[in-house]
Amino acid sequence: MWTKPWNMREGFLLGGGLLLVGLLLQVTLGPIDWSLPAWPVNLVLLIFLLVVIGVMYALRRKVYAFEWMMHSGAAVPCLVYAAGLTVLMGLLPQVRMGGVPWLSQMLQFWPFVLIWTWMMVISALAALNHLLRWKVKEIPFILNHLGVVVAIVAATLGSADMQTLQLTAFTGEAEWRAVDETGRMVEPGIAIELRQFTMEEYPDHSPKRFASDVTVYTKDGKNVSGIVEVNKPLKVNGWKIYQYGYDVMRGSNSSYSVFQLVRDPWILWVYIGIFMMLAGALCLMFFMAPKPVKS
Amino acid sequence: MSWDSFVWFALGAVLLWAAGAFFAWKERKALVYVCTLAGIAVFFAFILGMWISLERPPLRTMGETRLWYSFFLPVAGIIVYSRWRYKWILSFSTLLSLVFICVNLFKPGIHSKSLMPALQSPWFAPHVIVYMFSYALLGAATVMAIYMLIKKKSTEKEINLTDNLVYVGLAFLTFGMLFGALWAKEAWGTYWTWDPKETWAAATWLCYLVYLHLRKAKPGEWKFACIILLVSFVCLQICWWGINYLPSAQGLSVHTY
């Protein structure tokens, strides 16, 4: 133990230490409030994270732990802890309040977040290590390790900047007001006028298709007409407008349509990460899998 | 095409697959391919028929996902056979496929025509089909792990096959998960909500990542790696259908079917 080279044992201990630190933070600071890292706090956190990773990489020859973190032996314990906590999260009902103390609000639970952060740090270090000794054959490794970091870091840090509003538009009236998740009135800067709501049903009266023919007005004087339906959102001025609901009692005669408005400034980075991971998965299949052995 | 004619197509396909498996033991390569591929074609003809008559891809109900699973097992089997020449693999894939066919014959589930608007998306088919193919490959990897654990020894060829099944299976698992995320963004505005199905998908994905990294870190620890595969497969089963029986997921998941 603790003699070089380190392997998995040290990783399990370090992970255990991280869990303890997490528990201490949980007790002293309480659950994580994910609305806090809103812009520009998330930018500061991102820069801090990048600097930490850069410094760790630069000091890898001086501090053995940083060197060790880039190897698969360090990844195993980290992934085991992450998988274990995620399984716990799947077993216990996740509720806003109550439930099992701490574990029923796993996303606000410090140890869970610290373990996932650790995973991001070692994945980023490993990616950086392969990136800086650039060779074409390193591309699959970089895509997989950097892709997951870009997607998860952007998704997590960006979550506080994501706005989700609900807007109810009646036929023939332009509606400028929406409500946010807490029920507060918000003006998104666009207005939606419902021109016509259409709905088709299956013979058993379950909905087959519902759609809203709308005109969207913007503060800067644009007006955009289009159809919003499930799986086919409309994009206007940075907002994505989703078909959300209608007057269920009146069905196709509904005089209003409910829309969900989503603005997610970090989405581009999440998509970049996801597409890197998709390319990485293709590489996993074609380049990273060991060559078949035939007897 | 209706569910009533399933028994005839299934019978035809299973007989052809069994013939293929038989010829694999007899080392008649050409006949192995002809029979197995013919069986796959017969089975796919039924899926296509269902697709046309339901006016939607047959992917919505649990029974319909089992249909694809029974289809992909022999597909995975013939791919493994063509690369590793295992004589037993086609017997195994045929048998397992037969189990799922029987489940569907005795408990077909609901197969109505209606497809709720959220499922009417070009992402629907790739999301589920890719997942089912991945489940078939990872199922085969699990059988390899059990086989090696019972035998208490392993050959280089067996470990190599298991690794390959996991690499390709994990690649498809990643496709399934990310297609789901891209679809969710178009349907609901968020790509990941930690819905119970998503949580279990993440747990399963992480477990298979443990396997990959463990194989790199400690190539000699094949027993530990095999146990990880068993745990991973349990997670996968919970993600696929076990979730319907978990109290934590009741009424919370958008993936109820």
Q: In the prediction, which pLDDT does A260 show?
A: 96
Task: Enumerate the β-bridge partners of residue B93.
Answer: none
Tell me the C-alpha distance between A103 and B74, whole Å: 41
Residue, of A203 and B24, whose pLDDT is higher = B24
Alpha carbon of residue A112 to chain centroid: 15
Confidence label for B118 from pLDDT (cuts 50, 70 and 90): confident
Q: A92–B248: do the CB atoms touch at under 8 Å?
A: yes
Residue B167 CB-density burial (10 A; 0-12 exposed, 13-18 middle, 19+ buried): buried
Query: Min CA distance, B184 vs chain A (Å)?
Result: 9
Q: Where are the domains of chain A?
A: 8-161, 163-263
Please say if the pLDDT value at position A290 is more than 80: yes
- Total-model pTM: 0.92
Cβ atoms of residues B228 and B211 within 8 Å: yes
> Quick one: which of A274, A23, A36, A15 has its CA closest to A121?
A15
Residues 6+ apart with CB under 8 A from B36: B16, B17, B20, B21, B74, B77, B78, B81, B90
Model ipTM value = 0.95
Average pLDDT over residues A190-195: 96
Q: Which of residues 25-54 of B touch A (CB under 8 A)?
A: none
CA distance B96 to B102: 10
Cα–Cα distance for residue pair A79/B209, rounded to 1 Å: 7
Mean pLDDT within A47-65: 97
Tokens of B149: 């654990």
Average pLDDT, chain A: 94
B175, A85, B207, B96 alpha-carbon torsion, rounded to 10°? -90
CATH number of A163-263: 2.60.98
Whether the per-residue pLDDT at B66 is higher than 70: the answer is yes
Q: Are strands A178-179 and A223-229 parallel, antiparallel or unpaired?
A: unpaired
Cα distance between residue A206 and residue A176, in whole Å: 31
Residue A10's pLDDT is 95
Give pLDDT tens digits for A226-253: 999 999 999 999 999 999 999 988 888 9
Contact between B239 and B199 (Cβ < 8 Å): no
Q: At A113, list the tokens.
A: 């977040």
Question: Is a pLDDT exceeding 80 seen at residue B254?
Answer: no
Looking at residue A206, its pLDDT comes to 85
Which residues from B are below 8 Å from A107, CB to CB?
194
pLDDT, residue B111, reads 58
Contact in structure between B185 and A162 (CB atoms under 8 Å): no
Would the pLDDT of B256 be above 80? no
Write the secondary structure of B77-133 as one string of H (helix), E (strand) and C (coil).
Answer: HHHHHHHHCCCCHHHHHHHHHHHHHHHHHHCCCCCCCCCCHHHCCCCHHHHHHHHHH
Location of structure tokens 């955009």? A224
pLDDT the model gives residue B4 = 86
Across the interface, which of B114, B186, B202 has its CB nearest the CB of A202? B114
Instruction: Please name the amino acid found at residue B160.
Output: N
Residue B6, pLDDT above cutoff 80: yes
- Cβ–Cβ below 8 Å for B217 and A262: no
CB contacts of A230 in chain B (<8 Å) are 117-118, 120, 187
Q: What is the pLDDT of residue B85?
A: 86
Domain B119-257 fold is Four Helix Bundle (Hemerythrin (Met), subunit A) (1.20.120)
Start-to-end CA distance of chain A, whole Å, equals 39
Tell me, what amino acid is at A127?
A
**With an 8 Å Cβ cutoff, is A281 touching chain B?**
yes
Note the pLDDT of residue A291.
87
Binning pLDDT at 50, 70 and 90, where does residue A295 land?
low
User: Which residues of A, range 60-99, sit inside 8 Å of B by Cβ?
Assistant: 71-73, 75-76, 79-80, 82-83, 86-87, 89-94
Give residue B255's pLDDT. 74
Size of interface A-B (CB pairs under 8 A): 154
What are the residue boundaries of the structural domains of chain B, listed by start?
1-112, 119-257
At how many degrees (to 10) do helices B29-54 and B62-84 cross?
A: 160
Interval B140-161 mean pLDDT:
94
Cβ separation A162–B185 shorter than 8 A: no
Helices (H), chain B: 6-25, 29-54, 62-84, 89-106, 124-151, 156-188, 196-217, 222-240
A231 and B161 within 8 Å at the Cβ level: the answer is no
pLDDT digits (tens, 9 = 90+) for A101-144: 999 999 999 999 999 999 999 999 999 999 999 999 999 999 99
The 10s digit of each residue's pLDDT in B159-183 is: 999 999 999 999 999 999 999 999 9
